[in-house]
Amino acid sequence: MTPTRGGDSGSQDPDPDSIERIRQVLIRAVERHCPPALAAQREDLVQMALVRLLERPRGEGSNPRGASYLWRVAYTVVIDEIRRVRRQQRQAEQLPEGEQRTPGPEARSELLECLGALQDRRRTAVTLHLEGFRTAEVATALGWTEKQAENLVYRGLADLRACLEGGDT
Amino acid sequence: MTGPSDDLAQRFRAALPDTSDGDCPPADASWAAAAGELPFERVRALVDHAATCARCAEAWRILADVRRAAAADAAETVPGARPVPGPAPVRLPLRTRTLVPLALSAMAAVGLWVMLRPPPLHPLPVERGSGNTAAVRAESPEVQPARDAMLRWSEVPGATSYNVTVLTPDLIVLHQAVGISGRQLPLPESVRQRAAGGGLLWNVDAVMPDGRTVASPTFELRLR
Protein backbone atom coordinates (compact mmCIF):
# COMPACT_ATOMS: atom_id res chain seq x y z
CA MET A 1 0.00 0.00 0.00
CA THR A 2 1.26 3.46 -0.76
CA PRO A 3 1.69 5.43 2.40
CA THR A 4 -0.70 8.26 2.97
CA ARG A 5 1.53 11.16 3.79
CA GLY A 6 0.32 14.08 5.77
CA GLY A 7 3.18 16.24 4.58
CA ASP A 8 6.76 16.07 3.74
CA SER A 9 10.09 17.66 3.71
CA GLY A 10 9.20 20.94 5.28
CA SER A 11 10.28 24.43 4.51
CA GLN A 12 14.02 23.94 4.39
CA ASP A 13 15.72 22.52 1.35
CA PRO A 14 18.16 19.76 2.15
CA ASP A 15 21.74 20.85 2.39
CA PRO A 16 23.41 20.25 -1.04
CA ASP A 17 26.52 18.86 0.63
CA SER A 18 24.42 16.32 2.51
CA ILE A 19 22.65 15.29 -0.67
CA GLU A 20 25.98 14.84 -2.46
CA ARG A 21 27.38 12.72 0.39
CA ILE A 22 24.26 10.58 0.38
CA ARG A 23 24.42 10.26 -3.39
CA GLN A 24 28.00 9.02 -3.31
CA VAL A 25 27.27 6.49 -0.57
CA LEU A 26 24.22 5.16 -2.40
CA ILE A 27 26.13 4.84 -5.67
CA ARG A 28 28.87 2.87 -3.94
CA ALA A 29 26.36 0.66 -2.15
CA VAL A 30 24.47 -0.14 -5.35
CA GLU A 31 27.74 -0.82 -7.15
CA ARG A 32 28.90 -3.09 -4.35
CA HIS A 33 25.76 -5.10 -3.74
CA CYS A 34 23.69 -5.18 -6.92
CA PRO A 35 24.32 -7.47 -9.88
CA PRO A 36 26.46 -5.99 -12.66
CA ALA A 37 23.54 -5.26 -14.98
CA LEU A 38 21.92 -3.09 -12.35
CA ALA A 39 25.15 -1.69 -10.94
CA ALA A 40 26.01 -0.38 -14.40
CA GLN A 41 23.01 1.92 -14.08
CA ARG A 42 23.89 2.99 -10.56
CA GLU A 43 24.39 6.68 -11.24
CA ASP A 44 21.16 7.05 -13.18
CA LEU A 45 19.30 4.94 -10.67
CA VAL A 46 20.47 6.91 -7.65
CA GLN A 47 19.95 10.20 -9.46
CA MET A 48 16.35 9.26 -10.30
CA ALA A 49 15.74 8.31 -6.70
CA LEU A 50 17.16 11.57 -5.36
CA VAL A 51 15.15 13.58 -7.84
CA ARG A 52 12.06 11.82 -6.55
CA LEU A 53 13.13 12.59 -3.01
CA LEU A 54 13.63 16.29 -3.73
CA GLU A 55 10.41 16.58 -5.70
CA ARG A 56 8.25 15.15 -2.96
CA PRO A 57 5.37 17.47 -2.20
CA ARG A 58 5.59 19.92 0.63
CA GLY A 59 2.89 19.42 3.19
CA GLU A 60 1.43 20.86 6.29
CA GLY A 61 4.66 20.89 8.20
CA SER A 62 7.30 23.56 8.23
CA ASN A 63 9.83 21.71 10.27
CA PRO A 64 13.49 21.40 9.42
CA ARG A 65 14.48 17.83 8.70
CA GLY A 66 17.34 16.10 10.39
CA ALA A 67 20.14 14.60 8.37
CA SER A 68 19.24 11.16 9.68
CA TYR A 69 15.74 11.52 8.24
CA LEU A 70 17.28 12.40 4.88
CA TRP A 71 19.42 9.26 4.93
CA ARG A 72 16.40 7.16 5.77
CA VAL A 73 14.24 8.59 3.01
CA ALA A 74 17.11 8.41 0.51
CA TYR A 75 17.55 4.72 1.31
CA THR A 76 13.86 3.97 0.86
CA VAL A 77 13.56 5.83 -2.44
CA VAL A 78 16.63 4.08 -3.83
CA ILE A 79 15.28 0.65 -2.89
CA ASP A 80 11.93 1.61 -4.44
CA GLU A 81 13.77 2.72 -7.58
CA ILE A 82 15.73 -0.54 -7.74
CA ARG A 83 12.46 -2.47 -7.44
CA ARG A 84 10.86 -0.34 -10.14
CA VAL A 85 13.78 -0.89 -12.54
CA ARG A 86 13.67 -4.62 -11.85
CA ARG A 87 9.94 -4.77 -12.54
CA GLN A 88 10.56 -3.05 -15.86
CA GLN A 89 13.35 -5.49 -16.66
CA ARG A 90 11.14 -8.47 -15.82
CA GLN A 91 8.37 -7.16 -18.01
CA ALA A 92 10.83 -6.64 -20.86
CA GLU A 93 12.18 -10.16 -20.42
CA GLN A 94 8.72 -11.63 -20.74
CA LEU A 95 8.13 -10.07 -24.13
CA PRO A 96 10.39 -12.21 -26.38
CA GLU A 97 8.61 -15.38 -27.40
CA GLY A 98 9.48 -18.47 -25.40
CA GLU A 99 12.59 -16.95 -23.91
CA GLN A 100 13.69 -18.67 -20.74
CA ARG A 101 14.92 -16.82 -17.71
CA THR A 102 18.33 -17.60 -16.31
CA PRO A 103 17.93 -20.51 -13.93
CA GLY A 104 18.05 -19.45 -10.31
CA PRO A 105 19.90 -21.18 -7.53
CA GLU A 106 19.08 -24.74 -6.63
CA ALA A 107 15.56 -25.06 -5.30
CA ARG A 108 16.68 -26.63 -2.05
CA SER A 109 19.71 -25.04 -0.53
CA GLU A 110 21.45 -26.92 2.23
CA LEU A 111 22.64 -23.66 3.73
CA LEU A 112 19.15 -22.16 3.82
CA GLU A 113 17.75 -25.34 5.33
CA CYS A 114 20.40 -25.31 8.04
CA LEU A 115 19.82 -21.61 8.64
CA GLY A 116 16.10 -22.21 8.94
CA ALA A 117 16.72 -24.93 11.52
CA LEU A 118 18.54 -22.60 13.92
CA GLN A 119 16.82 -21.29 17.03
CA ASP A 120 14.94 -18.04 16.38
CA ARG A 121 17.33 -15.66 18.08
CA ARG A 122 20.43 -17.29 16.63
CA ARG A 123 18.89 -17.44 13.15
CA THR A 124 17.96 -13.76 13.20
CA ALA A 125 21.38 -12.74 14.47
CA VAL A 126 23.24 -14.93 11.99
CA THR A 127 21.11 -13.79 9.05
CA LEU A 128 21.84 -10.16 9.83
CA HIS A 129 25.52 -11.04 10.21
CA LEU A 130 25.54 -12.77 6.81
CA GLU A 131 23.93 -9.67 5.34
CA GLY A 132 26.85 -7.56 6.50
CA PHE A 133 25.69 -6.24 9.85
CA ARG A 134 28.35 -5.83 12.50
CA THR A 135 27.81 -7.09 16.02
CA ALA A 136 26.89 -3.67 17.38
CA GLU A 137 24.43 -3.17 14.54
CA VAL A 138 22.83 -6.55 15.19
CA ALA A 139 22.52 -5.54 18.84
CA THR A 140 20.83 -2.25 17.92
CA ALA A 141 18.36 -3.90 15.56
CA LEU A 142 17.36 -6.60 18.02
CA GLY A 143 17.44 -4.62 21.23
CA TRP A 144 20.19 -6.71 22.78
CA THR A 145 23.48 -5.83 24.36
CA GLU A 146 26.50 -6.08 22.10
CA LYS A 147 27.72 -9.02 24.17
CA GLN A 148 24.45 -10.89 23.70
CA ALA A 149 24.52 -10.23 19.98
CA GLU A 150 28.11 -11.42 19.71
CA ASN A 151 27.32 -14.63 21.59
CA LEU A 152 24.26 -15.36 19.48
CA VAL A 153 26.10 -14.72 16.21
CA TYR A 154 29.01 -16.86 17.36
CA ARG A 155 26.85 -19.76 18.54
CA GLY A 156 24.57 -19.47 15.52
CA LEU A 157 27.51 -19.65 13.13
CA ALA A 158 28.86 -22.68 15.01
CA ASP A 159 25.44 -24.37 14.74
CA LEU A 160 25.26 -23.52 11.06
CA ARG A 161 28.67 -24.98 10.34
CA ALA A 162 27.88 -28.10 12.35
CA CYS A 163 24.65 -28.57 10.41
CA LEU A 164 26.45 -28.11 7.08
CA GLU A 165 29.02 -30.69 8.13
CA GLY A 166 26.25 -33.14 8.93
CA GLY A 167 25.91 -32.60 12.65
CA ASP A 168 22.95 -31.39 14.64
CA THR A 169 22.04 -27.76 15.23
CA MET B 1 32.13 -7.88 5.67
CA THR B 2 35.42 -9.47 6.41
CA GLY B 3 35.92 -12.33 8.79
CA PRO B 4 35.80 -16.03 9.26
CA SER B 5 32.20 -16.30 8.02
CA ASP B 6 32.84 -14.78 4.61
CA ASP B 7 32.49 -18.19 3.00
CA LEU B 8 29.06 -18.60 4.57
CA ALA B 9 28.04 -15.10 3.48
CA GLN B 10 28.94 -15.95 -0.09
CA ARG B 11 27.08 -19.26 0.04
CA PHE B 12 24.12 -17.47 1.58
CA ARG B 13 23.98 -14.97 -1.28
CA ALA B 14 24.30 -17.67 -3.87
CA ALA B 15 21.56 -19.77 -2.30
CA LEU B 16 18.85 -17.13 -2.21
CA PRO B 17 16.14 -17.47 -4.84
CA ASP B 18 15.65 -14.58 -7.24
CA THR B 19 12.03 -13.97 -6.33
CA SER B 20 9.56 -11.33 -7.36
CA ASP B 21 9.32 -8.40 -4.97
CA GLY B 22 5.54 -8.34 -4.96
CA ASP B 23 5.32 -9.39 -1.34
CA CYS B 24 8.44 -7.69 -0.09
CA PRO B 25 8.02 -5.38 2.90
CA PRO B 26 8.58 -1.66 2.38
CA ALA B 27 12.17 -0.47 2.60
CA ASP B 28 11.26 1.83 5.47
CA ALA B 29 10.32 -1.19 7.58
CA SER B 30 13.85 -2.54 7.18
CA TRP B 31 15.28 0.81 8.22
CA ALA B 32 12.99 0.88 11.25
CA ALA B 33 14.13 -2.63 12.14
CA ALA B 34 17.80 -1.80 11.82
CA ALA B 35 17.27 1.32 13.93
CA GLY B 36 15.87 -0.76 16.77
CA GLU B 37 12.40 0.73 16.41
CA LEU B 38 10.55 -2.57 16.13
CA PRO B 39 9.93 -5.40 18.58
CA PHE B 40 11.98 -8.57 18.09
CA GLU B 41 9.14 -10.54 16.50
CA ARG B 42 8.73 -7.93 13.77
CA VAL B 43 12.45 -7.78 13.10
CA ARG B 44 12.59 -11.55 12.99
CA ALA B 45 9.79 -11.66 10.42
CA LEU B 46 11.57 -9.12 8.21
CA VAL B 47 14.91 -10.89 8.52
CA ASP B 48 13.34 -14.29 7.84
CA HIS B 49 11.78 -12.88 4.68
CA ALA B 50 15.18 -11.61 3.57
CA ALA B 51 16.53 -15.13 4.06
CA THR B 52 14.16 -16.33 1.34
CA CYS B 53 14.44 -13.41 -1.07
CA ALA B 54 17.61 -12.31 -2.84
CA ARG B 55 16.21 -8.88 -3.53
CA CYS B 56 15.46 -8.12 0.10
CA ALA B 57 18.78 -9.57 1.21
CA GLU B 58 20.43 -7.20 -1.24
CA ALA B 59 18.40 -4.31 0.20
CA TRP B 60 19.57 -5.25 3.72
CA ARG B 61 23.20 -5.25 2.59
CA ILE B 62 22.71 -1.80 1.10
CA LEU B 63 20.99 -0.79 4.32
CA ALA B 64 24.01 -1.84 6.37
CA ASP B 65 26.28 0.36 4.24
CA VAL B 66 23.92 3.33 4.25
CA ARG B 67 23.27 3.26 7.99
CA ARG B 68 27.00 3.06 8.65
CA ALA B 69 27.58 6.12 6.47
CA ALA B 70 24.67 7.92 8.13
CA ALA B 71 26.14 7.18 11.55
CA ALA B 72 29.53 8.50 10.44
CA ASP B 73 27.79 11.56 9.05
CA ALA B 74 25.98 12.13 12.33
CA ALA B 75 29.23 11.70 14.24
CA GLU B 76 30.76 14.53 12.23
CA THR B 77 27.94 16.86 13.17
CA VAL B 78 27.61 15.75 16.80
CA PRO B 79 30.95 16.42 18.51
CA GLY B 80 32.07 13.52 20.63
CA ALA B 81 29.80 10.96 19.00
CA ARG B 82 31.50 7.83 17.82
CA PRO B 83 31.74 7.61 14.04
CA VAL B 84 30.23 4.20 13.52
CA PRO B 85 28.00 2.09 15.79
CA GLY B 86 30.38 -0.69 15.07
CA PRO B 87 32.49 -2.98 17.13
CA ALA B 88 34.69 -1.77 19.90
CA PRO B 89 38.35 -1.48 18.98
CA VAL B 90 39.10 -4.72 20.79
CA ARG B 91 36.53 -6.85 18.98
CA LEU B 92 38.10 -10.07 17.78
CA PRO B 93 37.19 -12.31 14.88
CA LEU B 94 34.76 -14.88 16.16
CA ARG B 95 36.83 -17.97 15.59
CA THR B 96 39.79 -16.64 17.49
CA ARG B 97 37.76 -16.54 20.67
CA THR B 98 38.52 -20.21 21.10
CA LEU B 99 42.22 -19.57 21.14
CA VAL B 100 43.46 -18.98 24.64
CA PRO B 101 46.43 -16.74 23.88
CA LEU B 102 44.37 -14.39 21.80
CA ALA B 103 41.63 -14.42 24.39
CA LEU B 104 44.13 -13.36 27.00
CA SER B 105 45.33 -10.58 24.71
CA ALA B 106 41.76 -9.50 24.21
CA MET B 107 41.12 -9.37 27.94
CA ALA B 108 44.18 -7.23 28.39
CA ALA B 109 43.07 -4.96 25.58
CA VAL B 110 39.59 -4.69 27.04
CA GLY B 111 41.04 -3.67 30.36
CA LEU B 112 43.15 -1.06 28.65
CA TRP B 113 40.21 0.21 26.66
CA VAL B 114 38.01 0.48 29.74
CA MET B 115 40.66 2.55 31.46
CA LEU B 116 41.43 4.79 28.51
CA ARG B 117 38.07 5.10 26.74
CA PRO B 118 36.66 8.58 26.20
CA PRO B 119 33.82 9.97 28.34
CA PRO B 120 30.24 8.79 27.65
CA LEU B 121 29.12 9.56 24.12
CA HIS B 122 26.06 11.36 22.86
CA PRO B 123 23.43 9.02 21.43
CA LEU B 124 22.97 9.17 17.69
CA PRO B 125 19.78 10.85 16.51
CA VAL B 126 16.86 8.67 15.54
CA GLU B 127 17.77 5.48 17.29
CA ARG B 128 14.41 4.35 18.52
CA GLY B 129 14.87 1.98 21.40
CA SER B 130 18.53 2.78 21.93
CA GLY B 131 18.63 5.56 24.40
CA ASN B 132 15.82 7.98 23.70
CA THR B 133 12.96 5.64 24.36
CA ALA B 134 11.96 7.27 27.60
CA ALA B 135 11.70 10.70 26.00
CA VAL B 136 8.35 10.18 24.29
CA ARG B 137 5.53 8.25 25.95
CA ALA B 138 2.09 7.33 24.72
CA GLU B 139 -0.56 9.19 26.70
CA SER B 140 -3.59 7.81 24.92
CA PRO B 141 -5.15 4.50 26.00
CA GLU B 142 -3.97 1.33 24.29
CA VAL B 143 -7.57 0.27 23.72
CA GLN B 144 -9.95 2.85 22.28
CA PRO B 145 -13.32 2.97 20.55
CA ALA B 146 -12.70 3.07 16.82
CA ARG B 147 -15.02 6.02 16.26
CA ASP B 148 -13.14 8.46 18.51
CA ALA B 149 -9.65 7.02 18.40
CA MET B 150 -7.02 9.62 19.20
CA LEU B 151 -3.24 9.29 19.49
CA ARG B 152 -1.65 11.38 22.26
CA TRP B 153 1.93 11.53 23.38
CA SER B 154 4.07 13.26 25.97
CA GLU B 155 5.83 16.54 25.34
CA VAL B 156 9.48 16.59 24.37
CA PRO B 157 10.94 19.86 25.70
CA GLY B 158 12.20 22.03 22.87
CA ALA B 159 10.58 20.03 20.08
CA THR B 160 9.38 22.21 17.22
CA SER B 161 6.98 19.64 15.78
CA TYR B 162 6.15 15.95 15.74
CA ASN B 163 5.89 13.33 13.00
CA VAL B 164 3.57 10.38 13.52
CA THR B 165 3.58 7.08 11.63
CA VAL B 166 0.75 4.56 11.88
CA LEU B 167 1.38 0.99 10.72
CA THR B 168 -0.42 -2.31 10.57
CA PRO B 169 0.92 -5.14 12.75
CA ASP B 170 2.70 -6.47 9.64
CA LEU B 171 4.39 -3.10 9.19
CA ILE B 172 2.47 -1.67 6.29
CA VAL B 173 2.50 2.10 6.67
CA LEU B 174 -1.10 3.33 6.77
CA HIS B 175 -0.58 6.98 7.55
CA GLN B 176 2.20 9.46 8.11
CA ALA B 177 1.51 12.91 9.50
CA VAL B 178 4.41 15.32 9.44
CA GLY B 179 4.98 18.65 11.15
CA ILE B 180 2.27 18.38 13.79
CA SER B 181 2.53 21.28 16.22
CA GLY B 182 0.33 19.76 18.94
CA ARG B 183 0.65 16.49 20.82
CA GLN B 184 -2.33 14.60 19.52
CA LEU B 185 -3.62 13.22 16.26
CA PRO B 186 -7.16 12.00 15.59
CA LEU B 187 -6.95 8.68 13.79
CA PRO B 188 -8.04 9.32 10.18
CA GLU B 189 -11.23 7.66 8.99
CA SER B 190 -9.40 5.63 6.33
CA VAL B 191 -7.07 4.18 8.95
CA ARG B 192 -9.95 3.40 11.32
CA GLN B 193 -11.71 1.49 8.55
CA ARG B 194 -8.54 -0.41 7.69
CA ALA B 195 -7.92 -1.40 11.28
CA ALA B 196 -11.49 -1.95 12.44
CA GLY B 197 -11.56 -4.57 15.17
CA GLY B 198 -7.83 -5.09 15.00
CA GLY B 199 -4.56 -3.64 16.16
CA LEU B 200 -2.28 -0.91 14.96
CA LEU B 201 1.24 0.23 15.70
CA TRP B 202 2.28 3.85 15.92
CA ASN B 203 5.30 5.92 16.77
CA VAL B 204 6.29 9.55 17.10
CA ASP B 205 9.39 11.46 16.10
CA ALA B 206 9.91 14.77 17.88
CA VAL B 207 11.78 17.19 15.63
CA MET B 208 14.24 19.42 17.48
CA PRO B 209 15.26 22.95 16.37
CA ASP B 210 18.61 21.69 15.06
CA GLY B 211 16.92 19.05 12.93
CA ARG B 212 17.70 16.11 15.19
CA THR B 213 14.86 13.72 15.81
CA VAL B 214 13.94 12.17 19.15
CA ALA B 215 12.14 8.95 18.45
CA SER B 216 9.56 7.18 20.56
CA PRO B 217 9.26 3.43 20.94
CA THR B 218 6.56 1.81 18.84
CA PHE B 219 3.21 1.81 20.64
CA GLU B 220 0.23 -0.46 20.15
CA LEU B 221 -3.37 0.60 19.68
CA ARG B 222 -6.36 -1.69 19.62
CA LEU B 223 -9.69 -0.49 18.26
CA ARG B 224 -12.98 -1.84 19.48
The answer to whether the beta carbons of residues A71 and A22 sit under 8 Å apart is: yes
CATH superfamily of B143-223: Immunoglobulins (2.60.40.10)
Classify each residue of A103-133 as buried b or exposed e, where b means 16 or more C-beta atoms within 10 Å of its C-beta. eeeeeebebbebbeebeebbbbbbbbbbbbb
B51-78: pLDDT as tens digits: 888 889 999 999 999 999 888 887 776 5
A80-93: pLDDT as tens digits: 888 888 888 777 77
pTM check: above 0.90:
no
CB < 8 Å from B in window 102-121 of A: 104-107, 109, 111-112, 115-116, 120-121
CA B1 to chain CA centroid, Å, is 21
B115-141: pLDDT as tens digits: 676 655 444 444 454 444 457 888 998
Q: How confident is the model at residue B165 (pLDDT cuts 50, 70, 90)?
A: confident
Residue B207: strand pairing partners = B161, B213
Interface A:B, Cβ pairs < 8 A: 246
Question: Does residue A5 register a pLDDT over 80?
Answer: no
Q: What is the mean pLDDT of residues A69-90?
A: 84
Measured distance CA(B19)–CA(B41) in Å, rounded = 23
Q: Do A5 and B27 touch (CB under 8 A)?
A: no
CB < 8 Å from B in window 55-84 of A: 59-69, 71-72, 74-76, 78-80, 82-83
State the pLDDT at residue A144.
92
The answer to whether the beta carbons of residues A74 and A53 sit under 8 Å apart is: yes
State the pLDDT at residue B103.
66
Measured distance CA(A51)–CA(A41) in Å, rounded = 15
Q: Which of A75-89, B94-108, B163-177, B179-193 is predicted with the least confidence, judged by mean pLDDT?
A: B94-108
Q: At what angle do helices A16-33 and A42-54 cross, to 10 degrees?
A: 140
> Which of B1, B8, B41 is best to mutate for the A interface (most A CBs within 10 A)?
B8
Question: Does residue A62 register a pLDDT over 80?
Answer: no
Q: Kindly report the nearest CA distance between residue B101 and chain A, in angstroms.
A: 19
Chain B residue with CA closest to A108: the answer is B15
CB < 8 Å from B in window 145-164 of A: 146, 150, 153-154, 157, 160-161
- Residue B211 region by backbone torsions, left for phi larger than 0, else alpha for psi between -120 and 50, else beta: left
> Which of A70, A79, A81, A121 is best to mutate for the B interface (most B CBs within 10 A)?
A79
Measured distance CA(B160)–CA(B162) in Å, rounded = 7
Name the residue facing A71 among B66, B180, B188 (closest C-beta): B66
Residue B152: strand pairing partners = B184
The answer to whether the beta carbons of residues B138 and B152 sit under 8 Å apart is: yes
Q: Which of A48-62, A69-83, A113-127, B47-61 is predicted with the least confidence, judged by mean pLDDT?
A: A48-62
- Domain architecture of chain A: domains with CATH: 16-94 (no CATH), 110-164 (1.10.10.10)
State the pLDDT at residue B13.
84
Which sequence spans correspond to the domains of chain B? 6-77, 143-223
Chain B residue with CA closest to A65: the answer is B211
Q: Are strands B213-215 and B199-207 parallel, antiparallel or unpaired?
A: antiparallel
What ipTM was assigned to the predicted interfaces of this complex? Answer: 0.77
Question: Does residue A100 register a pLDDT over 50?
Answer: no
Q: Do B43 and A1 touch (CB under 8 A)?
A: no
> Which of B2, B12, B19, B160 is best to mutate for the A interface (most A CBs within 10 A)?
B12
